[in-house]
Chains A and B, each alone.
Chain A
Amino acid sequence: MHIPDGLISPQTYLPALALAAPLWVVAARRLRARMGDELLPRLAVFTALAFLLSTLMLPLPGGTSGHLLGVSLLALVFGPWVAFLCYTLVLVLQAVVVGAGGITALPVNALTLGLVAAWVTWGGYRLLRGLGETLAVAAATWLGIMSAALVLALVLGLQPVIAQAADGTPLFFPFGVAVTLPALLVPHALIAAGEAALTVLVFRHARKRRWLEAMP
């Protein structure tokens, strides 16, 4: 669901970059403290993994399908900082190697799909764990994806207000929140449910592998 270039105004993406950059540094520092000189190879492999996960199709009822984000799964298995950093790197890769997605939109995409989705999933899981694992994973993943969609809808929906010409016409994304909220949240309620189902199925086995504990 990431935003392509040309829909987000500089008034939005520059502050987003100013917010995201220090968070990338924090994430990298924290992981470096945990993994030391092994950070580079591990991060590179996990980026490739995140890249693969983001190409998995989510079959949806009615013959349609969506793409898995995979960021919730990464957050649950490796923690939110790894998920945030890997997802950012996937976006970089998609922008400069594949040519999909956007480079100016990158900070916004990274903050919503990377940071918000990862932390909400991770935090949601910790909060809801008492309800049983399947429910906690499913609800946390669904909430993580929906929060990302919500922030994305708000960022897009505020564009006509943030960036408009002297005559009041929009300069970038044209629709307000009244349009973006239903347009993004309604279909994503279904996509997020698909993502939640797949995450539950994978995480059930992944947790038993005790990867997090085994990781340096």
Chain B
Amino acid sequence: MSESLYSLEQVTVRYPDGRTALDGVDLDIAAGERVVLLGANGCGKSTLLKLLDGLVLPTAGRLRFAGREVDAAALKARDFAAAFRRRVALMFQHPEAMLFNPTVAEEIGFGLRHLPAAEAQERVRHWAGFMRLDRHLEEHPSQLSGGEKQRLCLACLLAVEPEVLLLDEPTANLDPRTVGWLIDWLGERDITTVVATHHMALAPELGQRAVILSEEHRVAFDGPVGDALGDLPLLLANNLAHQHRHRHGEEEHVHVHGHPVWGAARD
């Protein structure tokens, strides 16, 4: 593998109210890698994605993208910021956060203003069709249904043809058909992806490499997805699987839920 696209050295992120979101995270991500980011609620997955998108900066430690340090000064530099924003795309958990244009067509075309008008228009049409939004091109984004809004967000991001796609809990908000389509679509391309999810069953489909964030906001595991999913103590320790007692008549069993290998019920 060539030089890392992202390199995080001992990155700590602390919010102004004193909460720690990430604590001493070391992480290298190579171009074209597909990473699944796992962790319980509140462990720092969203913050890590925002960090990779340059929206949150390290309180301590270093963040590098394509060999260049990403800090406040770099993001102020217009050429770096513009290129960075075009190369990296983040799909937010809530679509309302990303939609701010008066029509669906303009929303998709927003990231394409650097292209000649005809080409931009063509791409808007293409992506609107792809995401089954072609009937809504002149509508206001707020008039769309929840699922349509999410497909619109996806269209906006993919139309820009980013090199890095960061997805925050896509399965929580996308309909199953779109999730399936997205997995296939990503599989055919070599876009670098980092997908945060606690939907364990989908993890093997979303990437080869798993990174687990512990509830202490540190990296608890970094390795092949299969190894992570096979390690029940690891999953239980990081609140990614749960077991509970269950009665069948007189007998009592212990069930493990929350992932494909163990979830089938191990009595």
Which partner residue on chain B sits nearest A209 by CB separation?
Answer: B17
State the CA gap A41–B100 with chains docked (Å).
Answer: 9
Set of chain B residues within 8 Å of A210, measured between Cβ atoms: 17
Confirm or deny: B16 has a beta carbon within 8 angstroms of a beta carbon on chain A. yes
A97: CB under 8 A from chain B?
no
Map CB proximity to B onto A193-216 as digits: 1 under 8 Å, 0 otherwise: 000000000000000001001100
**A213 CA to B15 CA in the complex, in Å?**
13
A81–B158 Cα distance when bound, in Å, is 39
Q: Is the interface of B mostly helix, strand, loop or mixed?
A: loop
Interface residues on A, range: under 10
Complex: A210 Cα to B19 Cα, angstroms: 14
How far, in Å, is B106 (CB) from chain A's closest CB?
16
- Bound together, the chains give a CA A212 to CA B125 distance in angstroms of 43
Please report the C-alpha to C-alpha distance between residue A213 and residue B17 in the assembled complex, in whole angstroms.
10
Closest chain B residue to A214 by CB distance?
B16
Q: Which residues of B contact A41 (CB under 8 A)?
A: 100
In the assembled complex, the Cα of A214 lies from the Cα of B18 at a distance in Å of 12
Within the complex, what minimum Cβ distance (angstroms) separates A20 from chain B? 27
| Least CB separation from B96: chain A residue | A45
- Tell me, in angstroms, the Cα distance from A214 to B100 when the chains sit together: 24
Complex formed: what's the CA distance from A43 to B2 in Å?
Answer: 45
Chain B contacts for A213, CB-based, 8 A:
16
Query: CB within 8 Å of A: which of B12-50?
Result: 16-17
Cα–Cα, bound, A90→B97 (Å): 21
- For residue A45, which residue of chain B has the nearest CB? B96
Which of chain A's residues has its CB closest to B97's CB?
A: A41
Q: Closest CB-CB distance, B248 to chain A, in whole Å?
A: 47
- B121 vs chain A, min Cβ distance (A): 26
Residues of A contacting B17 in the complex (Cβ-Cβ under 8 angstroms) = 210, 214
B43 to chain A, nearest CB (A): 22
Residue of A whose beta carbon sits closest to that of B15: A214
Q: How far is the CB of B195 from chain A (nearest CB, A)?
A: 26
Contacts of B16 in A (CB 8 A): 213-214
Distance (Å) between the CB of A54 and the closest chain B CB?
Answer: 19
CB distance from B208 to the nearest CB of A (A): 37
Q: How far is the CA of A210 from the CA of B16 in the complex (A)?
A: 11
B-contact 0/1 string along A110-152, CB 8 Å cutoff: 0000000000000000000000000000000000000000000
Closest to B100 in A: A41
Alpha-carbon distance between A43 and B17 when the two chains are bound, in angstroms: 23
Give the complex CA separation of A210 and B18 in angstroms: 13
Please give the residue numbers on chain A whose beta carbons come within 8 Å of chain B beta carbons, in ascending order.
41, 210, 213-214
- Closest 5 CB pairs between A and B? A214-B16, A41-B100, A214-B17, A210-B17, A213-B16
